[in-house]
Structure 1
Amino acid sequence: MVSERAAQVLVASNRGPVTYAFREDGTLDARRGGGGLVSGLSAIGTDADALWVCAALGDGDREAVRRGVAEPGVRMLDIDATVHADAYNGIANSVLWFVHHMLYQTPLEPVFDAQFRRQWDAYRTYNRAFADALAAESAPGAVVMIQDYHLALAPGMLRELRPDLRIGHFSHTPWAPPEYFRMLPDDVAEELVRGMLGADRLGFLTWRWASAFMQCAGNVAEDGRIVSSAPDDPRPRIRHSPTGESAFRTTLVGVHGLGAEAGFLRRRSHELDVEERMVALRDQVGGEGDRKTIVRVDRTELSKNIVRGLLAFRTLLDERPEWRERVVHVAFAYPSRQDLPVYRDYTAEVARLSEEINAQYGTPGWTPVVLHVKDDFARSLAAYRIADVALVNPIRDGMNLVAKEIPVVSDAGCALVLSREAGAYEELGDEAIVVNPYDVTGTAAALHQALTMPDGERAERTKRLAAAATALPPQQWFLEQLHALEALGEGGEEADDLGRT
């Protein structure tokens, strides 16, 4: 049944634009979030008939749903806490994230056993809750924009419920190549692909990730019922049919490389709290302003490769002793997913290695590694401004906005050392010093090259990096996808150039 106040534009994601926390008196405090989606959705204006559907993530969120507390334009789903935990931590973050980032230690993992099957059922249930809510809240012919790997099944489920809708799905992560994706049980791999293909249009951050999905789609159904066009086709698309049916649908594929929001970053980076943190950071760096800084800002996700970055810095100090007492590695490693043991262990290893480097090389007037683990956006911006070198060396990353934000904010220009496995490499690689993220000695050599880059070259590269980084700001990124879906007929139907059978 469709809601009486059905929306014309809907966004669906695990995390919404607002969270609720309990005040001391038991009332609820609403805290607005940021990010590209929030900024992008604002581009359609406050008068637009839009709705954001998200999950209740904590006790405060769940209580808000129970009390009927809600922000305008937001519907929060109180999905059973056990179902959410199994879907979010058990499948999304412990299986799909690991597959798409190629993080498994394959001699020991993964193990797809009875527990996995139980959690997969929860993932289905979680996606079904979103599909049901979106079906109920969408006006006839509405545009629905579903976000990320948490909701890979939702497009197909929603298509069955509301074939009139124009459905998009955007992947904010990489997509695994077919040989790695097929690590999943065959039925699960096909269910994921067919779930995604319920969308009229699939969006990815780079052509590399889009091409990987298209290859996976063609590989999981060997009966010829999923056929991808060539990756270099002017309008890449996938023709597909549910097993046992003769009618085919077409899913279009597009790429939208989310960029940095230059105006906001430049304004925010010159506010008083950022200036105060710059003073504190310069005091920690020491050296009366003569020391260079190598800056990294990450969450302690396994894909970010923080440990190898620290090993590369240690190698630099070992092989290039002239840099001792002349450079400081400012490393922000903000805790992520600490409810998972492997992430807690990784965070602990980052702290242990930082302490080891400081013990080995530090002097009374010089701390080689300045590590901060408490999330502080103002301090991150302060570090961006003072960075001489930015180290962004992920094992694999959908995009990496830090690589795009630092050149925009940098005061005097910043050399970028960038992993070739970051999605941002496609746009920024020409002006960065590119590294193999597994090569510690190569990364150390790249850090030396970055530190010795002439000031003029560094400044010019930074200008070109900033221009590339801001080419598709969040509002334009959102509107591009919205307009592409709006251009389709009701239900997303259009001429199928691949033909029908």
Structure 2
Amino acid sequence: MASTHGAHGILVASNRGPISYQTQDDGSLTARRGGGGLVSGLSAIGPDADALWVCAALGDGDREAVRRGVGEDGVRMLDIDAEVHAEAYNGIANSVLWFVHHMLYQTPLEPVFDAEFRRRWEAYRAYNGAFAEALAEEAAEGASVLVQDYHLCLVPGMLRVLRPDLRIGHFSHTPWAPVDYFRMLPDDIRAELLDGMLGADRLAFLTWRWATAFLDCAAEIDPGRYRVAPASGTTPPAVEHLDGAAPGRTRVGVHGLGADAEFLRARSHEDDVAERMAALREEIGAGRRTIVRVDRTELSKNIVRGLLAYRQLLDDHPEWHERVVHVAFAYPSRQDLAVYRDYTAEVQRVAEEINSRYGTPDWTPVVLHVKDDFARSLAAYRLADVALVNPIRDGMNLVAKEVPVVSDEGCALVLSREAGAYEELGDDAIRVNPYDVVGTARALHEALTMQPGERAERTKRLVAAATALPPARWFLDQLEALRS
């Protein structure tokens, strides 16, 4: 760590940063900016806030940019050893922590916490350590640091040791596992994760359901070290550190990320979206209703059961033959992991089976696209009569919030009770058990037959709830709560 403190008063740490680089054939580097709530939030605080975003170099172009000293003000990209990053990111974050928090393990066979797991955990620890050291170097005295997500669970505790003067927050974009599932982790790993998280002054989650799950873990797994102080009046709940560890107590709060309505509405009326709408209308056919889903092929998104529910709808209600199309966008995710490649293949197989079984020369029941295309996603949002969002477990699910905002005619939302968005949108959605294919088929029929007036009223209320905390406000609220 540097002997003097840095100059930055606000720091954000996340695996992925706001910019990425690609090396061109002539050796030059081109930069591409990303979007999202953090980008909007940092923009909202203004250029005079001395803010810095610390992120990992994710590809060869990023690493080359670091080596050449190429970058932009307000971003520090860390060139962590590629193998360490791969073991930490894929070996632990996406193959262990993601599976635990989304409750995805087939427990008769997995997980297996063997010597290979321990080796990967060392990489995860080293990866978190690199972030903690960079943040400690760059932060001004008393700076506010907002650490993001399950990739960096150990950073708050590590940073607390290096820089006890800092105000440290951590935000979880995923669910948090219930106690019994969290207990699957080896005892020492469990303790290390809790200690890492509870090095923060404040922890934040997308819903109270996930926040409560974390509080339960802190209370039950290590009661000799931590005690939960419940909420009282306007005082939020907190975890008290019984062993005298700084910061003494860690406050817990909730910030439900909303849709960016202004951006979505403007972007969805640009020319490239109009072109994709025309192409989709041709694929769908004139006069047909649409059931739309837009997801990455993550195991938690439940795309296969959604397709099976649509098949059940066609079985139970033949009157919908030729009259409805399921527009399913399943964009590849984490294809370097075999289980995700297999899942993507199963999505394609089931879609093809439905089209083969029910399709006619003039009607393709499932319009499936697997190549990521944001403009086409917005086109589908605008055309949606029904939005299907049926994850088996999801931190929030912004698609559930975005489709009602963008849909031209208003849409009925079929929503899993296991989505974080259910907490805010459930009253005006048609709620489903994500494992119940027959029940989901009934919900799809109810959505398709909903009267226009009721659909319009529900959509209006869905939009109000979905946009209550837009991305910039979501970020600023976290910052203000950390500083208060």
TM-score, L = length of structure 2: 0.98
Could you say what secondary structure the match of 1:110 adopts? coil
What does 1:35-434 align with in structure 2 at a 5 Å threshold?
A: 35-223=36-224, 225-230=225-230, 234-242=235-243, 245=244, 249-286=248-285, 288=286, 290-434=287-431
Q: Letter of the aligned partner of 1:282 in structure 2?
A: R
Could you say what secondary structure the match of 2:377 adopts? helix
**Post-superposition CA distance 1:280-331 (Å, at most 9, x none):** 0000001x2x110000000000000000000000000011100010000000
Q: CA deviation at 1:248?
A: 7.0
Q: CA deviation at 1:241?
A: 4.1
Q: Letter of the aligned partner of 1:214 in structure 2?
A: L
Q: CA deviation at 1:486?
A: 1.8
Q: Letter of the aligned partner of 1:443 in structure 2?
A: T
Distance 1:133 1:454, change over 3 A: same
Distance 1:248 1:377, change over 3 A: closer
Equivalent position of 1:443 in the other structure: 440
The answer to whether the 8 Å contact 2:9/2:50 transfers is: yes
Distance 1:5 1:155, change over 3 A: closer
Q: Letter of the aligned partner of 1:6 in structure 2?
A: A
What does 1:455-494 align with in structure 2 at a 5 Å threshold?
A: 455-487=452-484
Q: CA deviation at 1:221?
A: 1.0
**Could you list the runs of 5+ residues in structure 1 that have no partner in the other structure?**
488-501
User: What is the alpha-carbon distance in structure 1 between the residues aligned to residue 66 and residue 376 of structure 2?
Assistant: 34
User: What is the alpha-carbon distance in structure 1 between the residues aligned to residue 49 and residue 245 of structure 2?
Assistant: 39
Q: Letter of the aligned partner of 1:230 in structure 2?
A: P
**Post-superposition CA distance 1:68-119 (Å, at most 9, x none):** 0011100000001111111000000000000000000000000000000000
User: What is the alpha-carbon distance in structure 1 between the residues aligned to residue 158 and residue 269 of structure 2?
Assistant: 46
Q: Letter of the aligned partner of 2:220 in structure 1?
A: N
**Post-superposition CA distance 1:254-273 (Å, at most 9, x none):** 00000001100010010111
The answer to whether the 8 Å contact 2:416/2:431 transfers is: yes
The answer to whether the 8 Å contact 1:269/1:409 transfers is: yes
User: What is the alpha-carbon distance in structure 2 between the residues aligned to residue 218 and residue 116 of structure 1?
Assistant: 26
TM-score, L = length of structure 1: 0.95
Could you say what secondary structure the match of 1:364 adopts? coil
Q: Letter of the aligned partner of 1:148 in structure 2?
A: D
Q: Identity of aligned pairs, percent? A: 76
The answer to whether the 8 Å contact 1:241/1:247 transfers is: no
Could you say what secondary structure the match of 1:315 adopts? helix
How many aligned residue pairs are there?
A: 482
**Could you list the runs of 5+ residues in structure 2 that have no partner in the other structure?**
none
Q: CA deviation at 1:3?
A: 6.0
The answer to whether the 8 Å contact 2:415/2:426 transfers is: yes
Could you say what secondary structure the match of 2:325 adopts? strand
User: What is the alpha-carbon distance in structure 2 between the residues aligned to residue 321 and residue 96 of structure 1?
Assistant: 43
RMSD between aligned residues: 1.2
**Post-superposition CA distance 1:411-442 (Å, at most 9, x none):** 00100000000000000000000000000000
Q: Letter of the aligned partner of 1:319 in structure 2?
A: D
Could you say what secondary structure the match of 1:53 adopts? strand
Could you say what secondary structure the match of 1:441 adopts? helix
The answer to whether the 8 Å contact 2:5/2:137 transfers is: no
User: What is the alpha-carbon distance in structure 1 between the residues aligned to residue 29 and residue 16 of structure 2?
Assistant: 18
The answer to whether the 8 Å contact 2:301/2:390 transfers is: yes
Q: CA deviation at 1:218?
A: 1.2
Could you say what secondary structure the match of 1:46 adopts? coil
Q: CA deviation at 1:230?
A: 2.6
